Amino acid sequence: MSMKNIDNGKKSLKVGRSKDGHPLRMRVDGITIVSMVDGKREKNTIRDWVKNIMGMTEHYSVEPVYHKKNGKNHYQKGVKISSGSTMLVRIDYKPYRDNVGNIRFEFRPQHLTENGMNKLILWLAESGLADLIFTIFKRAWVTRLDVALDVYNCTLEDYFFGLKRCYTGNMNLEGDSRGLTLGTVYSHLQMSIYEKTDLFGVESSIEKVETLGKNILRVDEYADFLRIEARIRPKNTPHSKQANRAIRLADLDKLVNPFESLQIYHKGLDNMLHGTDNRFSYKKGHTLARNKHDFLKRIGARKMPKHQEKVFKQYEYELLNKGEVWSFWPDCKAKLGLLGNPPLWVATNRNRYFS
The pLDDT assigned to 1 comes to: 47
Q: How far is CA 165 from CA 75, 184, 273, 302, 303, in A?
A: 33, 13, 19, 12, 10
* C-alpha span between 220 and 6 (Å, rounded): 13
With 0-12 / 13-18 / 19 or more C-beta atoms within 10 angstroms meaning exposed / middle / buried, residue 61 is middle
- Mapped onto helix, strand or coil, the DSSP state of residue 102 is coil
- Mapped onto helix, strand or coil, the DSSP state of residue 334 is helix
Tell me the average pLDDT of the chain. Answer: 87
Instruction: Show pLDDT as tens, one digit a residue, over the chain (355 residues).
Output: 455 566 766 679 999 999 999 999 999 999 999 999 999 999 999 999 999 998 777 889 999 998 776 666 789 999 999 998 899 999 999 888 877 789 999 999 999 999 999 999 999 999 999 999 999 999 999 999 999 999 999 988 899 898 988 878 788 777 667 788 999 888 999 999 998 877 655 554 555 555 545 545 554 555 588 999 999 999 887 777 777 778 999 999 999 999 999 999 998 888 898 888 888 887 766 777 778 888 888 888 888 888 888 998 999 999 999 999 999 999 999 999 999 999 999 999 999 999 8
Under 8 Å CB-to-CB from 85, ≥6 apart: which residues?
A: none
The pLDDT assigned to 285 comes to: 65
* Contact by Cβ (8 Å): 110, 11: yes
* C-alpha span between 322 and 228 (Å, rounded): 13
